[in-house]
Amino acid sequence: MAKHDLDPNYLDPNYEPVVNHSENTPFHQVLAARMQRRTVMKGTVGAALASVMGLGLAGCGGDSDGDSSTGTTTTNTRNPEDTALGFKAVPVSDANEVVVPEGYSAEAFLPWGTPITGGYPEFRTDASNTGEEQEQQVGMHHDGMHFFPIDLKSGGSSSTEGLLVMNHEYINQKALHPAGATYVNGLRPADEVRKEIAAHGVSIVHIKQDSNGTWDIVMSDYNRRITGGTEMDISGPARGFSKLATPFSTDGTATRGTLNNCSMGPTPWGTYLAAEENWHGYFANSGERTKEQTRHGVGSSSRYDWELADPNGLLDAEYDQYKRFDVTPVEGGSAATDYRNEANTFGYLVEIDPFVPEKKPVKRTALGRFGHEGVIFAPVEEGKPVVCYSGDDSRFEYIYKFVSDQPYYSDTANGSLLDSGTLYVARFNNDGTGEWLPLSLEDANFKAKVDAAVARGVVGGIDFEGFENQADVIVNTRLAADIAGATPMDRPEWGAVDPVSGEVYFTLTNNDERLDSQTNAANPVAGNTTGHIIRWSEAGNDHSAMSFDWDIFVFAGEQGTETVVDDEVIVSLTDDNIFNSPDGLWFDYNGRLWIQTDGSDAAPYENNMMLAANPVTREIKRFFVGPVGCEVTGVVTTPDTKTMFVNIQHPDGYWPNANVERPRDATVIVTRNDGGVIGA
């Protein structure tokens, strides 16, 4: 979320509260550790850092860097020319338009409200479309996105026709309705709530390029809206668990809707996983909160007041869609009669098959329950487990990895591979190594830590009496990770896996609350307002390994911010590449790394942007700048890397139409005027 947002509720400090009070990795341990990492930050923002890192480095003789943990995490034998950046960097910009390099073009596509299905109801610029109409139109606040070639299932890789699937993270109520959110006698008009729920979720849009190179919507049966109200199945360990039972599904096997879908991940078998990030803000509990609510920040009121929909004139079944957002236990009630457990059916990765419109989305609970920013799969190998990574985007939260029990075979692979496996959480040691800690009651070490926590009776200030079973571990993934001893990070956002080297990259967007006493080698900046990008290589380059070597790829910041490896300045940011708060991250099919920002849009950075990086040389160039007030989030290309789709979320206004004040989130199509490969 950018600070700059028309949504007044965004300023609610409870929106993304710090809820990890577990104090993993205390300062005295950091100081005691010989900081053998040689990747340090210097430059204009490094003053606070120098005291911490300088102390650590003084004790680092450098002799221990010769083994597994040198500055770069793998021996990368590729030719840096393969991922060279051939364009001229664009300057920072505060213009209310998209800026791309010389020789490139950019055009807005699929703005919020574009009709894509059903009766294809036309968008009305006064925002007077109904909830029912919004259910047939592109949602709001475009975010993570993937392009599925239309012939993917038959082994093809079309770059001229496909299914563009995108998330709609949240909404701007002021823009969504003619006069913003309204209340009558303290209640919300029900159709406003219906429209808000419909503006969330996922859009699947069949698109095709004509002979002139113009992309259009194909009116086909693939086109589909999945919203905050769509019926979904629950699979994996938490399926059927008592804490997921609701009046809608008394056996805890189904729920309605996916919310706050930030980033995503395409699976190796051609489906789409939408991440549920800040779902906690949609629920209200005015009574006593459970530990699974407290550890996620569910509060006494909700962000959009959907639970206050006016029931007058609604059928019971209609009202049920809204009242479920009030998760307060009713006196004398139960999970079968009130929605005390509704929030426990959110916080997952949701699998959607874009090629099978009649198939219900499935919440894959084995991948954990937290503020999933997104998910990224490691390259698959026949006969080996499926591995994917997911970050929990909140200050001091963690990075997770899932390893399937069953091996991958391309002929038979499907989503059931994600239903059984082990969920791990990352510990980043100060010497540049790291470990994956299993969150499984079958693991003796984890079980012993859980038992010790039960004996203490408290975890991070939350009363703790143990886990009922593995389903309970999943529902309380954050608490389980606290107990395991994971490293609290500076807000893990998107991950990306280098298709050539196999290295895993994660953006750590910022963490203004990290104190000096809470720094460590992987999160070395106190009051980290600009963020950094971390990367690691799994032991033996095996993604199911239990250990890894990590490195900081780059520190974001102002001109002169340096990333120093083994006393050599590898990156020193200039006018061509200053950036802050890296968020979106994606390797294209040629191995160029794309970095998107969601940060301060004041000088010297100005509007949010997207940069390209050469992962071999760490050369970084600004490629794209968004309009005023937006964040730039979501990027994918066609397989030939000649059409790029980039999402613009929450522009301020007069964009994409400079004559219309009401802003519309939109996808931007970027092409090279000579038809060449983007970025080359």
**Contact with Ca ion (CB under 5 A): which of 482, 598, 652, 665?**
598
Closer Cβ to ligand FEO, 633 or 638, answer by number: 633
**Contact with Ca ion (CB under 5 A): which of 419, 562, 583, 588?**
583
d(CA 273, CA 589) in angstroms, rounded, equals 19
497 to 556, contacts with ligand FEO by CB under 6 A? none
Q: Write the secondary structure of 58-121 as one string of H (helix), E (strand) and C (coil).
A: HCCCCHHHHCCCCCCCCCCCCCHHHHCCCCCCCCCCCCCCCECCCCEEEEEECCCCCECCCCCC
Least distance CB 262 / Ca ion (angstroms): 5
Closer Cβ to Ca ion, 292 or 373, answer by number: 373
Write the interaction track for Ca ion spanning residues 306-345; mark x where CB under 5 A is met and - where it is not: ----------------------------------------
Least distance CB 282 / ligand FEO (angstroms): 14
Question: Which amino acid, residue 58?
Answer: A
Closer Cβ to ligand FEO, 403 or 635, answer by number: 635
**Contact with ligand FEO (CB under 6 A): which of 305, 342, 373, 503?**
373
Closer Cβ to Ca ion, 263 or 267, answer by number: 263
Write the interaction track for ligand FEO spanning residues 142-181; mark x where CB under 6 A is met and - where it is not: ---------------------------x------------
Residue 614 near residue 595 (C-beta atoms within 8 A): no
Least distance CB 597 / Ca ion (angstroms): 9
- Give the β-pairing of 609-613 and 620-625: antiparallel
Token pair listed for 2: 């950018």
Least distance CB 624 / Ca ion (angstroms): 16
Residue 277 sits in the site that holds ligand FEO (CB under 6 A): yes
Q: Write the secondary structure of 430-465 as one string of H (helix), E (strand) and C (coil).
A: CCCEEEEEECCCCCHHHHHHHHHHHHHCEECCEECC
d(CA 480, CA 494) in angstroms, rounded, equals 22
* Cross-strand partners of 434: 428, 548
Angle between helices 190-198 and 316-323 (to 10 degrees): 60
Closer Cβ to Ca ion, 42 or 142, answer by number: 142
- What is the SS3 assignment for 384? coil
Token pair listed for 142: 């475009």
- Minimal CA–CA distance to 78: which of 534, 592, 506? 592
Write the interaction track for Ca ion spanning residues 251-270; mark x where CB under 5 A is met and - where it is not: -----------x--------
Least distance CB 398 / Ca ion (angstroms): 16
Write the interaction track for ligand FEO spanning residues 255-274; mark x where CB under 6 A is met and - where it is not: -------x------------
Residue 278 near residue 16 (C-beta atoms within 8 A): yes
d(CA 211, CA 218) in angstroms, rounded, equals 15
Least distance CB 599 / Ca ion (angstroms): 8
Residue 57 near residue 36 (C-beta atoms within 8 A): no
* Cross-strand partners of 670: 106, 644
Least distance CB 438 / ligand FEO (angstroms): 26
Least distance CB 316 / ligand FEO (angstroms): 34
**Contact with ligand FEO (CB under 6 A): which of 393, 482, 606, 665?**
393
Residues that bind Ca ion (CB under 5 A): 1, 262, 583, 598
Residues that bind ligand FEO (CB under 6 A): 1, 169, 262, 277, 373, 393, 493, 583
